[in-house]
Amino acid sequence: MAATTIATVRKSSVIPGFGLALGVTLTYLSLIVLIPLALLFWRSASGGPEEFIRISTDPRTIAALRLSFTTSFIAALVNLVFGMILAWILVRYEFPGRRLIDAVIDLPFALPTAVAGIALTTLYAPNGWIGAWLQPFGIRIAYSQTGIIIALIFIGLPFVVRSVQPVLEDLNREVEEVAATLGANRRQTVRRVVMPALMPALLTGFALAFARAVGEYGSVIFIAGNSPYKTEIAPLLIVIKLEEFSYSGATTIAVLMLIASFLVLLAIHLIQSWSRRRYGDV
């Protein structure tokens, strides 16, 4: 979409700087993100449609994509539940160590993913700190799909907490009081009053955690078994295609992943603007 069309459709505003701000935004976005990604699409198409279809319908590609999307979905769900609880206790409760916990939430953003992968494997391998306890019960976490999910929970943890926290802080408690005086018990208040207000933020957090998890590579390859059809994630398959000098294979899988992620993100943004229109700004 060209800047001029956007500029002509914007509503009038007295605030200056629209042209400059949007110009900088679009230029930078195009140079860093859009043009390189467009090149990716172009390269994936260069093998012709048959090649594209052959690679995207290959059972191994499908297995890898399915694995990446299901493990990411489960990890994002876990993060949704625990992220919600974490945000809740951080905003609403006072307890010793609250500030510390608030600070460490962002660690997964900052810790290099490869380090996270190595550290998690150290913990969950059959002879690791935690893995050794589970080994006698026949539970194997590292080198299985569970291991992948654990790594993805780690890297997606901050997204839900950080999306929900500010909204929860701004939430007007008087509304909850009103609900209570009208006879709602605490559970009803939380379910009927608080949750709808948090829904957009929860969705954002979920979507970001999910999208980030789908693409994750560094931490997962250490803890997954990397067996084809079983524990081989889609980004690893891209790397494998590259090692075969098959750029069309690598770019095709990359494009499939991109389209899927983009659709998820777009859907979430649309749901958000819909709920904002419906419930007003909360």
Partner 1 sequence: MSDGAFTTARLHGASGIHFRPVTMERKRVRLALILISLAFLALFLVMPVLAVFVEAFRGGWPAFAEAIFEPDAAAAIRLTLLVAAISVPCNLVFGVAASWAIAKFDFRGKALLNTLIDLPFSVSPVIAGLIYVLMFGSQSLLGPWLKSEGIQVIFAVPGIVLATIFVTFPFVARELIPLMEEQGRGDEEAALSLGASGFQVFFRVTLPNVKWALLYGVLLCNARAMGEFGAVSVVSGHIRGLTNTMPLHVEILYNEYQFAAAFAVASLLAVLALFTLVVKSVLEWRYADEIAATRRH
Partner 2 sequence: MVRPISAIASRIRPALAALAVGVAMVVTPALADVSLLNVSYDPTRELYKAYNAAFAAHWKAEGGETVTVQQSHGGSGKQARSVIDGLDADVVTLALQADIDAIAKESGKINPDWRGRLAHNSSPYTSTIVFLVRKGNPKAINDWGDLIKDGVEVITPNPKTSGGARWNYLAAWAYANKAFGNDPAKTKEFVSELFKHVPVLDTGARGSTTTFAQRGIGDVLLAWENEAFLALEELGPDKFDIIVPPLSILAEPPVALVDANVDAKGTRKVAQAYLDYLYSAEGQTIAAKNYYRPSEPTLVDAALLTRFPKIDLVTIDDPQFGGWAKAQPEHFGDGGIFDQIYKPN
Among 60, 92, 192, 230, binds partner 1 (CB under 8 A): 92
The Cα–Cα gap between 182 and 203 comes to 29
Report helix, strand and coil shares of the chain as percent, to nearest 5.
80, 0, 20
Q: What's the distance, CA 54 to chain centroid?
A: 29
Residue 219's nearest CA partner among 153, 170, 278 is: 153
Binders in 114-143 for partner 2, by CB under 8 A? 121, 125-128, 142-143
Contacts of 5 (CB under 8 A, 6+ apart): none
- In the complex, the smallest distance separating the C-beta of residue 229 from partner 1, rounded to whole angstroms, is 20
The site partner of 269 among partner 1, partner 2, none (C-beta below 5 to 8 Å per kind) is partner 1
Q: Does 226 bind partner 2 (CB under 8 A)?
A: yes
Nearer to partner 2, 163 or 232 (CB): 232
The Cα–Cα gap between 183 and 84 comes to 25
Angle at alpha carbon of residue 87, lines to 86 and 92, rounded to 5°: 105
Q: Does 58 bind partner 1 (CB under 8 A)?
A: no
The site partner of 246 among partner 1, partner 2, none (C-beta below 5 to 8 Å per kind) is partner 2
**260: helix, strand or coil:** helix
The site partner of 112 among partner 2, partner 1, none (C-beta below 5 to 8 Å per kind) is partner 1
Q: Does 13 bind partner 2 (CB under 8 A)?
A: no
Contacts of 134 (CB under 8 A, 6+ apart): 140, 141
Q: Two tokens at 63?
A: 């297995």
Stretch that binds partner 2, among 42-50, 84-92, 192-200, 222-230 (CB under 8 A): 222-230
Half-sphere exposure of 49 (CA within 13 A, CB side): 0
Q: Does 43 bind partner 1 (CB under 8 A)?
A: yes
Q: Does 139 bind partner 1 (CB under 8 A)?
A: no
Q: Does 63 bind partner 1 (CB under 8 A)?
A: no
Residue 224: other Cβ atoms inside 10 A: 26
Q: Could you give the string, one character per residue 57-86, with x where binding to partner 2 holds by CB under 8 A and - elsewhere?
A: --xx--------------------------
The site partner of 240 among partner 2, partner 1, none (C-beta below 5 to 8 Å per kind) is partner 2
Chain residues binding partner 2 by CB under 8 A are 59-60, 121, 125-128, 142-143, 221-222, 225-229, 236, 239-246, 249
